[in-house]
Amino acid sequence: MENGKQVTDIYGQLVFNDKIMRERLPKDVYKAVHKTIENGTHLELDVANAVAAAMKEWALEHGATHFTHWFQPMTGLTAEKHDSFLSPEPDGSVIMEFSGKELVKGEPDASSFPSGGLRATFEARGYTAWDPSSPAFIKDGSLYIPTAFCSYGGEALDKKTPLLRSMEALSKEAVKVLHLLGNTDVTGVVTTIGSEQEYFLIDKEMYMQRKDLLLCGRTLMGAPAPKGQEMEDHYFGVLKPKVSEFMHDLDEELWKLGVPAKTKHNEVAPSQHELAPVFETANVAVDHNQLTMEVMKKVADKRGFACLLHEKPFAGVNGSGKHNNWSIQTNTGINLLDPGKHPAENIRFLVFLMAVISAVDEYADILRVSVASAGNDHRLGANEAPPAIISVFVGDELAGVLKSIEEGKEFNGVGKTQMEMGAEVLPHIMRDTTDRNRTSPFAFTGNKFEFRMPGSAISVANANIVLNTAVAEALEKIYEQLKDVPSERLDDEIHALLKKLLDEHKRVIFNGNGYTDEWIEEAEKRGLDNLKSLPAAMPRWISEKSIDLFTKHKIFTKEEIFSRYEILLENYSKTIHIESLTLQEMVRKDFMEGLISYQSAVAEEAGKKKGLLPDCVCALETHITQKLDCLSSKILKSLERLAEDTESAEKKTDALERASFYQETVLGDMEVLRSYVDMAESMIPESYLPYPTYGEMLFALR
Ligand code: ADP
Ligand code: MG
């Protein structure tokens, strides 16, 4: 730590958190804000004025000159526009001003953000509204105020609004069920999230030399290095000094911003790492994850690195994900997914567990859409990541519990056993009965579920919106079936209902290895979806079932659902369009520059040789030249093909048709072109190539 400071000194020092509010706000104002945060009640303007005044004073003391409404438009990134507190006086001086109105509402006139047709051009303006449940903070001299972003008509144009709506829906349904089960003191629940963030670090100079990384975030070509991740020597390996310094800086910056960064380690692929935070309320956790990604990039840049957040920056080595650890907690402090010591007797736990399992089965396709992106398509279904099939892992103990429910028998438990490590000196550890299954896309991990499909670059808001809503719906169904049951029969009826739900949804439970071909076949037999790409999954988003779910729980209106459909498809096509153009340019310019200069060097060499030895056959030079020449013509042909197909894709007017064409045809063309380029690249010495190779990028960091 800098200047002998401790973590406790710096943690949250740039956050207008609860502690600061308690210290600085008049008691009644503090209470009113708290009521708003806890119960979602409306905030009066005089309260907002008092909060704004305190915020401004605090921000000025910390060197801030500006404030910004910080929001998350549907690009999946964050957006900000800064205004200074400055207000000129008639005498030529200035005062610093910030009103409750400015705190509560903003009009960024952000008319260029995607709205999927939700905003007519004559009322293109978007509005931001303060979200008091996520604390304001200071970054780069500005006071950041987390806000929701909506249109003039109140339609959500962002990811925060529906997330908040979904949290409220889940809370409402969970409370109804809890009251039925006798937990009448509970008045609300929150979803908790801890999202583990994977990323790559590479040398900044090298990054700057690759147009594909600069423009697309992933390499579009590049022959594999002789070494990949097969030695498994990077995972949890010793941190290299420069990387360790980066992680240290990153932790410190995040702690100052009140982001509870907790764990850091090397990941499976070379140059791949992970950061995991302590879990928080979903809304705050999503904001903090966005902030984490941003700070990662900034700190990397300062330390001479580029931080790659793309889901598949390098072919042939693992991609990056964002494991979304998810649970539900009551406002009385109970984690509803904690099985306790005797899960079989824990009716409340079993009800919530079955609600989640049935929700995931029922809405697997929509959950799949929630993690779909052009980048994540490269990862889902590949060897390192869960396949595109959604299944639920519950572990041995819960599998036993569920089996006993199914068979109507008593559960005798699997019991914890002691691990035998063969050395007396080692502590005696009890074996965990919820052992990890790293191949499952949706795994129960002790007292939470871990959804492993979200991509590393995208906001986890979508995944949690769908998860919360689907579980809210499952809970509502459970409530409807139990609400009129007399109390003396409630236990029996709950058991009967659990058995029924299990019968209906057990197909989604899978405890085996999800990476095998057998599972793909088995899943098909079970009737589980295997939606391999974004265009294949998108029609499910606008299905009747999806519209019913979201409109019933007031998460999205039909218009909002369709606008998101358009935006996702547009974004997908645009991404691949840019990738195609970038690949074409890199091949035409950068790669060919290397190819031609190497070929002419070889020819020159051959000429020299002939001068010395007129009879020589120049076997090596001839071989190289012939091979490269043959590849060159293939490259030119595939380049032409890619250019033509990309043009055809752009001519398609229907968004789904265009995206499908990009997926089925253009991506394929890019693969073919790349394969020839990579073959040629592997023959050309590094010194002739104007960009760094895989080997240099993945292994050169110290
Ligand atoms: P693991 O269970 O994978 O061995 P951890 O217990 O450290 O590891 O948890 C991994 C992630 O899950 C962390 O980000 C952690 O904060 C988060 N997590 C733990 N408990 C919960 C919970 N109740 N709700 C949401 N996330 C949680
Ligand atoms: Mg992980």
Gap between the terminal Cα atoms of the chain: 22
Instruction: Give 497-564 as a DSSP string.
Output: HHHHHHHHHGGGB--S-TTSHHHHHHHHHTT--B--SHHHHHHHHTSHHHHHHHHHTTS--HHHHHHH
User: Does ligand 1 come within 6 angstroms of the Cβ of 325?
Assistant: yes
Nearest CA to ligand 1 atom 8: 445
Confidence of residue 155 (pLDDT cuts 50, 70, 90): confident
- Cβ pair 309, 157 in contact under 8 A: no
The 3-state secondary structure of 61-82, one letter per residue? HCCCCEEEEEECECCCCCECCE
User: For 12-44, b where at least 16 C-beta lie within 10 A, e where not — what string?
Assistant: bbbbbeeebbeebbeeebbebbeebbeeeeebe
- With H, G, I as helix, E, B as strand and everything else as coil, classify residue 168: helix
Cβ of residue 194 lying under 6 Å from some atom of ligand 1: yes
Q: Give the ligand with the smallest distance to the CA of 320.
A: 2
Residues of the chain with pLDDT > 90, as a percent, come to 76
Asked whether residue 17 carries a pLDDT value surpassing 80, the answer given is: yes
C-alpha 337 – ligand 1 centre gap (Å): 12
Structure tokens at 545: 């079932």
**DSSP H helices in 160-275:** 160-180, 204-208, 211-216, 241-256
Ligand 1 nearest atom to the CA of residue 329, by list position: 23
Q: Mean pLDDT over residues 540-568, rounded?
A: 96
pLDDT of residue 551: 98
**Among candidate residues 470, 490, 496, the one with its CA nearest the CA of residue 550:** 470
Mean local confidence (pLDDT), 16-31: 94
Ligand located closest to 395 CA: 1
CA atoms within 13 A on the CB side of 649: 30
Residue 182, SS3 per DSSP: coil
Question: Mean pLDDT, to the nearest integer, of 317-344?
Answer: 94
Nearest to 371 by CA among 360, 357, 355: 360
> Does residue 591's CB lie within 6 angstroms of at least one atom of ligand 1?
no
What is the per-residue pLDDT across 26-65, written as a single tens digit (0 to 9) for each?
999 999 998 888 877 788 889 999 999 999 999 999 999 9
Kindly report, as residue ranges, where domains of CATH 3.10.20.70 are found in the chain.
2-157
Q: Label residue 267 by pLDDT band (50, 70, 90).
A: confident
How far apart, in whole angstroms, are the C-alpha atoms of residue 259 and residue 325?
16
Q: Computed from CA positions of residues 467, 473, 479, 482, in that sequence, does the dihedral angle turn out positive or negative?
A: negative
Distance 445 CA to ligand 2 centre (A): 12
Task: Give domain 571-699's CATH number out of 2.160.10.10, 1.20.120.1560, 3.30.450.70, 3.30.70.270.
Answer: 1.20.120.1560
DSSP-derived 3-state class of residue 43: coil
Residue type, 173: E
Q: Residue 107: its pLDDT value, please?
A: 83
More reliable by pLDDT, 69 or 438:
69
Check whether 123 has a pLDDT greater than 60: no
Ligand 1 pocket test, pick from 448, 449, 450, 471 with the greatest ligand atom count within 8 Å of Cβ, gives 448
Q: What is the dihedral of CA 451, 453, 546, 448, to 10 degrees?
A: 0
**What pLDDT does residue 700 have?**
77
Residue 425, pLDDT > 70, answer no
Q: In one letter, which amino acid is 466?
A: V
For residue 266, the ligand closest to its alpha carbon is 2
Q: Is the CB of 278 under 6 A from ligand 1?
A: yes
| Closest protein CA for atom 14 of ligand 1 | 194
* pLDDT score of 121: 47
Count of other CB atoms within 10 angstroms of residue 511: 18
Q: Which ligand is nearest to the CA of 263?
A: 1
Beta bridge partners of 324: 195, 451
| Poorest-pLDDT segment among 178-182, 237-241, 272-276, 657-661 | 237-241
279 lines ligand 1 (CB under 6 A): yes
Handedness of CA 645, 646, 647, 652 (dihedral sign): positive
Does the pLDDT of residue 164 top 50, yes or no? yes
Element (H, E) at 598: helix 592-612
Residue 468 alpha carbon to ligand 2 centre in Å? 22
Q: How many contiguous H segments (helices) and E segments (strands) does the chain have? A: 24, 18
How far is Cα 27 from Cα 658, in angstroms, rounded to an integer?
58
pLDDT of residue 281: 96
Domain 2-157: homologous superfamily in CATH:
Glutamine synthetase, N-terminal domain (3.10.20.70)
Nearest atom in ligand 1 to the alpha carbon of residue 276 is 14
Say yes or no: CB of residue 395 within 6 Å of ligand 1. Answer: no
**CA nearest neighbour of 348 among 548, 525, 491, 147:** 491
Q: Which residues on neighbouring strands pair with residue 687, listed in sequence order?
A: none
What residues contact residue 647 under an 8 Å CB cut-off, 6+ apart?
none
Question: For the chain, what is the mean pLDDT?
Answer: 91
* Residues in the chain, overall count: 702
Ligand number nearest to the C-alpha of 321 = 2
For residue 438 and ligand 1, the question of a CB distance below 6 A is answered with no
Portion of the chain with pLDDT greater than 70, in percent: 93
The larger pLDDT score, comparing residue 112 to residue 178, is at 178
User: For 246-277, b where at least 16 C-beta lie within 10 A, e where not — what string?
Assistant: bbebbbbbbbbbbbbbeebebbbbbbbbbbbb
The reply to whether the predicted model has a pTM over 0.85 is: yes
Q: Is the C-beta atom of 449 inside 6 A of ligand 1?
A: no
Q: At 456, is the secondary structure helix, strand, or coil?
A: coil
- Answer yes or no: is the C-beta of 193 below 6 A from any ligand 1 atom: yes
Nearest bound ligand to the CA of residue 443: 1
Ligand 1 atom at minimal distance to the Cα of residue 337? 23
DSSP-derived letter for residue 663 is I
The alpha-helical segments, DSSP class H, found in 332-414 are 347-362, 364-370, 395-407
Nearest to 628 by CA among 680, 694, 689: 680
Residue 314 token pair: 């390098």
Ligand 1: residue whose CA is nearest its atom 19: 279
CB of 327 within 6 A of ligand 1: the answer is yes
Reported as a single tens digit per residue, the pLDDT across 351-370 is: 999 999 999 999 999 999 99
- Distance from residue 323's CA to the centre of ligand 2 (Å): 6
pLDDT reading at 120 higher than 60 = no
Out of 280, 325, 438, mutate this one to test ligand 1's pocket (max ligand atoms within 8 Å of CB): namely 325
Residue intervals in the chain for CATH 3.30.590.10: 197-217+234-320
Segments of the chain assigned to CATH 1.20.120.1560: 571-699
Give the pairing of strands 142-151 and 66-70.
parallel
Class of the CATH-defined domain 197-217+234-320: alpha beta
pLDDT tens column, 167-214: 999 999 999 999 999 999 999 999 999 999 999 999 999 999 999 999
Mean pLDDT within 315-325: 93
Ligand 1 neighbourhood includes 277 CB (under 6 angstroms): yes
Write out the two tokens for 412: 């005798």
pLDDT score of 229 more than 80 = no
CA of 557 from ligand 1 middle (Å) equals 33
